[in-house]
Amino acid sequence: MSKTVFVGMSGGVDSSVTALKCKQAGYDVVGVFMKNWAQDLPGFDCPWQKDYRDAKAIAVQLGIPFEMVDFQNEYRQKVVDYLIEGYRAGLTPNPDIMCNQEIKFKLFLDVAREKGADMIAMGHYARSHNGQLLTGVDESKDQTYFLYRIKESALKQTLFPVGEMHKSDVREFAAENNLITADKKDSVGICFVGKVGIRPFLKQFVDTEPGPIIDQNGEEIGQHDGAIFYTIGQRRGLGVGGGRPYYVVDKDMDSNTVYVTSKLDDEELWADQITLRSPHWINQEPEADIDYQVRVRHLGELTDASVTQINGHWQINLGSAIRALSPGQSAVVYDNDRVVGGGIIS
């Protein structure tokens, strides 16, 4: 008796190929569209209806059952509120990581199992093997940075067919099988509101006021439009003239002040240690005597590091300093192609 796989179908080429690959592998496939966010914002239309139609059309083309699940309430509570509150606190949270943790590999998995699924399948560029999370074959598309908070038990019930492929091969495979999404552009912007950027999104939910921009000499060199919008290490969008580039090194949410430096070698811009909060280790905790690699942003450079626990807190000791660590973002630990886990940068 073949196993039943519920495929998370977003209306894009990756999930379309995932569904076809699962069908070709002999699974009983059910396509599922997750309706997570359907709110239009001024000047930006939420693309969910078009994505739903594309996903449904692929399911019809493949001859598989198709349904939609409405996770809007849970998504607002677990992901959107997390994003907004994080920015209000002066952090730079990552909604994609929280979406994977709380919605796609928890809520969706639970619903799928309740409906009779043996496994789920997703269109991420990653691989799973015996409950381990491995990087995707296509290093330029690897998405494991966003997946490090998945539990081992969920990985044992998840398939990642396109993780074994390069993006060009995914496109070619889709075209060879006449999938209508073969040439559809990949989504950009915030994971749940399409092409809208973080600044116009936050403006719908958070009141902001102008405030001072202070340089390394303690002098006010300009005004910003709200400290909430600025990220540590940010260079563009400061609106400060004078010819020299400035980098954000700190911000004070209480006084609505942004601090910058024009010195690229400013010690406030660089760090050789990372303290983690809310750590998550997929299979087992890191070992102190093993050399790991750490990534602090999606597809960012891998840096050699060791990981230790000191007074109950996990600390990453970097082999070379990293610029622009942003509190609220994640540091993800790798053991070559295996994702060990990681945590939130404090």
Average pLDDT, the chain: 93
Co-location of 160 and 217 in the same domain: no
Co-location of 125 and 254 in the same domain: no
Chain length of the chain: 346
Residue 218 is predicted with a pLDDT of 95
Range in 61-65, 220-224, 226-230, 264-268 the model is least confident about: 264-268
CATH of the domain at 282: 2.40.30.10
Query: Residue 47 above 70 pLDDT?
Result: yes
Query: Residue 55 above 70 pLDDT?
Result: yes
Q: How far is the C-alpha of 16 from the C-alpha of 45, rounded, in Å?
A: 23
Query: Residue 298 above 90 pLDDT?
Result: yes
Task: Determine the average pLDDT of the residues in 98-117.
Answer: 97
By the 10 Å C-beta count (0-12 exposed, 13-18 middle, 19+ buried), 289 is classed as exposed
Residue 42 is predicted with a pLDDT of 62
Neighbouring CB atoms inside 10 A of 255's CB total: 11
Co-location of 285 and 333 in the same domain: yes
| The residue type at 272 | D
Question: pLDDT digit string (tens) for 63-93?
Answer: 999 999 999 999 999 999 999 999 999 999 9
Range in 9-18, 47-56, 153-162 the model is least confident about: 47-56
Is 311 contained in some domain?
yes
Confidence band (pLDDT; 50, 70, 90) for 29?
very high
Co-location of 113 and 50 in the same domain: yes
Q: Is 127 helix (H, G, I), strand (E, B) or coil?
A: strand
Co-location of 45 and 166 in the same domain: yes
Alpha carbon 70 to chain centroid, angstroms: 21
Alpha carbon 141 to chain centroid, angstroms: 12
Is 188 contained in some domain?
no
Q: 303 lies in which domain range?
A: 267-345
Is 226 contained in some domain?
yes
Co-location of 9 and 147 in the same domain: yes
Query: Residue 1 above 80 pLDDT?
Result: no
Helical H runs in the chain? 13-24, 48-62, 72-75, 81-88, 95-99, 108-114, 152-155, 167-176, 198-203
Q: Provide, rounded to the nearest whole percent, the portion of the chain with pLDDT above 70.
A: 95
Query: Residue 189 above 60 pLDDT?
Result: no
Is 194 contained in some domain?
no
Confidence band (pLDDT; 50, 70, 90) for 238?
confident
- Specify whether 191 is catalytic: yes
Co-location of 28 and 143 in the same domain: yes
Backbone dihedral region of 299: left (phi > 0), alpha (psi from -120 to 50 degrees) or beta? left
* Neighbour order of strands in the sheet with 220-224: 220-224, 211-214, 257-261, 247-252
Is 201 contained in some domain?
no
Active-site residue among 191, 202, 331, 333?
191
Contact 212, 223 (CB under 8 A): yes
Q: Among residues 66, 69, 68, 54, which one has the least CA distance to residue 174?
A: 54
Query: Residue 227 above 70 pLDDT?
Result: yes
Contact 225, 242 (CB under 8 A): no
Query: Residue 56 above 90 pLDDT?
Result: yes
CATH of the domain at 81: 3.40.50.620
Co-location of 153 and 12 in the same domain: yes
Confidence band (pLDDT; 50, 70, 90) for 190?
low
Rg of the chain over Cα atoms, rounded to whole angstroms, equals 21
Residue 334 is predicted with a pLDDT of 98
Residue 192 is predicted with a pLDDT of 55
Q: Tell me the C-alpha to C-alpha distance, in Å, between residue 15 and each of 2, 21, 54, 58, 143.
A: 21, 10, 11, 10, 14
Question: pLDDT digit string (tens) for 274-287?
Answer: 999 999 999 999 99
- Angle, nearest 10°, between helix axes 167-176 and 13-24? 70
Confidence band (pLDDT; 50, 70, 90) for 45?
low
| 45 vs 14, residue with greater confidence | 14
Number of domains within the chain = 3
Active-site residue among 59, 64, 98, 99?
99
Backbone angles phi, psi at 64, to 5 degrees: -120, 150
Looking at residue 287, the DSSP 8-state letter turns out to be: P
Co-location of 16 and 84 in the same domain: yes
Task: Determine the average pLDDT of the residues in 234-254.
Answer: 86
Residue 195 is predicted with a pLDDT of 60
Task: Determine the average pLDDT of the residues in 319-343.
Answer: 96
Q: Among residues 40, 5, 3, 39, which one has the least CA distance to residue 19?
A: 5
Task: Determine the average pLDDT of the residues in 157-170.
Answer: 98
What the block records as the tokens of 280 is 């998550």
- Specify whether 46 is catalytic: no
Co-location of 85 and 211 in the same domain: no
Task: Determine the average pLDDT of the residues in 92-101.
Answer: 94
Query: Residue 127 above 80 pLDDT?
Result: yes
Is 195 contained in some domain?
no
| 174 vs 268, residue with greater confidence | 174
Co-location of 163 and 272 in the same domain: no
Residue 236 is predicted with a pLDDT of 82
Q: Provide, rounded to the nearest whole percent, the portion of the chain with pLDDT above 90.
A: 81
Can you point out the beta strands (E) in 188-230? 211-214, 220-224
Is 238 contained in some domain?
yes
By the 10 Å C-beta count (0-12 exposed, 13-18 middle, 19+ buried), 199 is classed as middle
Is 100 contained in some domain?
yes
Co-location of 152 and 15 in the same domain: yes
Query: Residue 196 above 70 pLDDT?
Result: no
Q: How far is the C-alpha of 125 from the C-alpha of 302, rounded, in Å?
A: 17
Alpha carbon 248 to chain centroid, angstroms: 23
| 346 vs 238, residue with greater confidence | 346
What the block records as the tokens of 341 is 């886990």
Alpha carbon 216 to chain centroid, angstroms: 32
- Angle, nearest 10°, between helix axes 48-62 and 13-24? 20
CATH of the domain at 253: 2.30.30.280
Confidence band (pLDDT; 50, 70, 90) for 12?
very high
Residue whose structure tokens are 């001072």: 212
